[in-house]
C-alpha cells in the first residue's frame, strides 16, 4: 500500500486519477487542491467517504502548508497535476499561469526535496515525484508523418505551454542537481466525464443541448490526438509506481482528429441519442469563429515507449470514448453540469449555499 499525494486532484484529470486509485488499488490518497474555478469537490463525491481518501485545500505556492502536509501524510509518491490549464485563459491573463505552473511547481519541488532528505535510504529508493505535463510543450508538427517523441525539442507557443515547459525543466533539474527521483509525462488532449465546460468537447455537447452556437476556431482544421481520461489515469498510475526516475514518457491515444470532425461526431451522436425537437441536425448550430492567436495546427504523440516499457495501451478508441462521454453528459446534465454552469458548485464549496 502506497501513500500518494495528488495535487490538482479536484480537477478533470486529477479527479479521474483519484477515483481510479481509490477504486482499483489499496493505496491512500491525499489531494492537495486550491479549488480554483476548475476544482470541483463534486467530482470526488464517489470516493469522499473512503477512509483512504483525504482532502487538503491548499495552494501549491504556499510552502508552509506543503511542509505541514508532507510531514503529516508522509507520502511515498507525489503526482503533480495542479496547474492553470486553459490556453485561452493564458492568453487573456498569463500571470496566474506563471505563478501556479512555474512558481507553484518550484515550491512543491522544494517541499518534496526537504521531505525527501528526511527519509531513510530505503524510503528514498522508493520515493517518486511524478510531474504531469502536456504535449503542447513541443509546439506543433509540420508533416503528417511526424510525431512528438520524448526526444522532440521544446518549442511552446502559448503562455500555458511555455509555463508547462518551464515547469518540466525545473522538475528535470531537481533530479539532475538534487537527485530527487522525478519522472515527467507529456500527454495529448484528454476528454471524458467531469470535464469543465470551457473545453471543446463538453462545451460543444452542452451548447448543443442548450440550443446555442457550437464555436469552431478558424476552419476547424486543427488536429489533436485525443485520449480518454480514464486511459490517461491508468497510464499515470503505472508511471508513478513502475516508471524509472529521470525518464520521460509520452502518453497518447493515436486518435488524431480535426476539431471539425470532433464537433461533427458529437452532433451525430446527439442526433441519435437526444434528437432535437424540430428533427433537424445539431450540425446546424456549428459556427466558425476567428482563430486563436498562435494556434498550433497539429499535435500527435508517439506513445511507443510507455507501451514497450510499461505495457500500457489505451482501452478506448475515439468512437467508444466519445460515445461514453456524450452519454455521461446526457446523464449528468441536470446534476454535475448544471451546478458547474450556474456556478452553484463553487458557492456550495465556499459554504455559501446553492441556488
Ligand atoms: P484542470 O484545470 O481541470 O484542474 C486543475 C486543478 O488544479 C484544479 O482542481 C485546480 O483547483 C487546481 N489548482 C490550480 N491552481 C492551483 C494551485 N495554485 N494550488 C493548488 N491547486 C491548484 O486541469 P486538468 O485538465 O485536469 O489538467 C491536469 C494536469 O494535466 C495539468 O498539469 C495539465 O497541464 C496536464 N494536462 C492536461 C491535459 C488535458 O487535456 N486536460 C493534457 C495533458 C496534460
Q: Tell me which residue of 32, 44, 36 sits closest to 108, measured CA to CA.
A: 32
Q: What is the DSSP letter of 154?
A: P
Query: Which grid cell is 46?
Result: 464517489
| Active-site annotation holder among 138, 160, 282, 345 | 160
User: For residue 100, what pLDDT is reported?
Assistant: 98
Please indicate whether residue 342 is annotated as part of the active site. Answer: no
Contact 278, 164 (CB under 8 A): no
Rounded Cα gap, residues 337 and 320, in angstroms: 21
Contact 131, 221 (CB under 8 A): no
Protein residue with least CA distance to atom 29, ligand 1 = 81
User: For residue 348, what pLDDT is reported?
Assistant: 67
Q: Tell me which residue of 214, 171, 19, 199 sits closest to 80, measured CA to CA.
A: 171
User: For residue 350, what pLDDT is reported?
Assistant: 58
User: For residue 355, what pLDDT is reported?
Assistant: 32
Query: DSSP letter string over 227-262?
Result: EEHHHHHHHHHHHHHHPPTT-EEEE--S-EEEHHHH
Q: How far is the CA of 272 from the centre of ligand 1 (A)?
A: 33
* Domain at 3-196+229-252+296-317: CATH architecture: 3-Layer(aba) Sandwich (3.40)
Contact 216, 275 (CB under 8 A): no
CA dihedral in degrees (47, 49, 54, 57; nearest 10)? 90
User: What parts of the chain have a pLDDT lower than 50?
Assistant: 352-355
**What does R_g of the chain's alpha carbons equal in angstroms?**
20
ipTM, 2 dp: 0.99
Rounded Cα gap, residues 237 and 288, in angstroms: 38
Please indicate whether residue 228 is annotated as part of the active site. Answer: no
Domain boundaries, the chain: 3-196+229-252+296-317
Q: How many CB atoms lie within 10 A of CB 213?
A: 13
CA distances from 144 to 223, 232, 298 (A): 10, 24, 8
Query: Which grid cell is 190?
Result: 484528454
Please indicate whether residue 67 is annotated as part of the active site. Answer: no
User: For residue 353, what pLDDT is reported?
Assistant: 44
In this prediction the pTM is 0.96
Q: Tell me which residue of 86, 50, 51, 326 sits closest to 191, measured CA to CA.
A: 326
Rounded Cα gap, residues 349 and 353, in angstroms: 8
Contact 52, 209 (CB under 8 A): no
| Active-site annotation holder among 33, 59, 84, 135 | 135
User: For residue 354, what pLDDT is reported?
Assistant: 36
At 352 the three-state DSSP class reads coil
User: For residue 196, what pLDDT is reported?
Assistant: 94
CA distances from 223 to 48, 189, 285, 286, 299 (A): 37, 10, 21, 18, 6
Rounded Cα gap, residues 141 and 190, in angstroms: 19
Q: Please count the residues of the chain.
A: 355
Query: Which grid cell is 64?
Result: 508552509
Degrees to nearest 5, angle at CA 208 with 9 and 263: 75
- Atom number of ligand 1 nearest to Cα 136: 43
User: For residue 351, what pLDDT is reported?
Assistant: 58
Q: For 221-248, write each residue's pLDDT tens digit.
A: 999 999 999 999 999 999 999 999 999 9
Mutate to test the pocket of ligand 1, among 10, 16, 38, 184 (most ligand atoms within 8 A of CB): 38
Rounded Cα gap, residues 82 and 71, in angstroms: 20
Amino acid at each position: 500500500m502506497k501513500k500518494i499525494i495528488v495535487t490538482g486532484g479536484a480537477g478533470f484529470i486529477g479527479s479521474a486519477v483519484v477515483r481510479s486509485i481509490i477504486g482499483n488499488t489499496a493505496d491512500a490518497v491525499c489531494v492537495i487542491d486550491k479549488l480554483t474555478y476548475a476544482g470541483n469537490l463534486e467530482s470526488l463525491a464517489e470516493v469522499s467517504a473512503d477512509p483512504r481518501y483525504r482532502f487538503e485545500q491548499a495552494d501549491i505556492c504556499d510552502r508552509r502548508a506543503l511542509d505541514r502536509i508532507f510531514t503529516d501524510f508522509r507520502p511515498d509518491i507525489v503526482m503533480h497535476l495542479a496547474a492553470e490549464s486553459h490556453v485561452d485563459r493564458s492568453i487573456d491573463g498569463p500571470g496566474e499561469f506563471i505563478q501556479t505552473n512555474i512558481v507553484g511547481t518550484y515550491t512543491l519541488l522544494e517541499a518534496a526535496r526537504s521531505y525527501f532528505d528526511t527519509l531513510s535510504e530505503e524510503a528514498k529508493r522508493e520515493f517518486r515525484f511524478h510531474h504531469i505535463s502536456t504535449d503542447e510543450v513541443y509546439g506543433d508538427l509540420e508533416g503528417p508523418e511526424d510525431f512528438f517523441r520524448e526526444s522532440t525539442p521544446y518549442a511552446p507557443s502559448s503562455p500555458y505551454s511555455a509555463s508547462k515547459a518551464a515547469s518540466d525543466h525545473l522538475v528535470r533539474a531537481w533530479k539532475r542537481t538534487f537527485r530527487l527521483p522525478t519522472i515527467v509525462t507529456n500527454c495529448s488532449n484528454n476528454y471524458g466525464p467531469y470535464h469543465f465546460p470551457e473545453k471543446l468537447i463538453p462545451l460543444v455537447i452542452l451548447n448543443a443541448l442548450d440550443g446555442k452556437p457550437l464555436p469552431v476556431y478558424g476552419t476547424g482544421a486543427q488536429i489533436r490526438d485525443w485520449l480518454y481520461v480514464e486511459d490517461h489515469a491508468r497510464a499515470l498510475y503505472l508511471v508513478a509506481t513502475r516508471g524509472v526516475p529521470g525518464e520521460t514518457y509520452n502518453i497518447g491515444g493515436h486518435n488524431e482528429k480535426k476539431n471539425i470532425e470532433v464537433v461533427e461526431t458529437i452532433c451525430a451522436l446527439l442526433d441519435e441519442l437526444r434528437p432535437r425537437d424540430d428533427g433537424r441536425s445539431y450540425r446546424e448550430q456549428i459556427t466558425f469563429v476567428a482563430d486563436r492567436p498562435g494556434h498550433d495546427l497539429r499535435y500527435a504523440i508517439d506513445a511507443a515507449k510507455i507501451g514497450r516499457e510499461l505495457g500500457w495501451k489505451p482501452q478506448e478508441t475515439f468512437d467508444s470514448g466519445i460515445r461514453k462521454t456524450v452519454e455521461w453528459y446526457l446523464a449528468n446534465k441536470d446534476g454535475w453540469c448544471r451546478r458547474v454552469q450556474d456556478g452553484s458548485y463553487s458557492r456550495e464549496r465556499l459554504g455559501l449555499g446553492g441556488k
